[in-house]
Amino acid sequence: MKAFIGIDVGKEKLDISWLRDVVKSKKKTKIFKNNPQGYQELVAWLIKNTNLEAQDIVITTEPTGVYSEPLMYFLYEQGFILLHVNPGKAKQYASSLGLVHKTDKSDAT
């Protein structure tokens, strides 16, 4: 079993969205600081809440400039499966779904 996590990476914060139940579209969200302590808190939160090992968690990030690079290196070293999406493509996808209001929380989803 795998868990799917979306992260919208900003200069100061990480907006996290975990798709807990694909069938019922249940999500859990959380915000962490975009710094080394926040990365450690994120990893602890993911492991505790999903009850999975890092290699069973797929993380997709939507970057803002270079602010995602330290996070990506950290998560890679922890053993997570990482996907890095083009922010322009994420915006187009949201638009195709009819989402009018674009927020960090919705970007993480």
Q: Which residue has the tokens 């993911």?
A: 46
CATH number for the region 3-108 comes to 3.30.420.40
Domain ranges across the chain: 3-108
Using 50, 70 and 90 to split pLDDT, how confident is the model at 101?
low
Distance of CA 73 to the CA centre of its chain: 14
- Return the pLDDT at 24: 80
106 touches 6 (CB < 8 A): no
Size of the chain, expressed as the number of residues it contains? 109
- What digits encode the pLDDT tens for the residues 18-65? 988 777 878 999 999 999 999 999 999 999 999 999 999 999 998 778
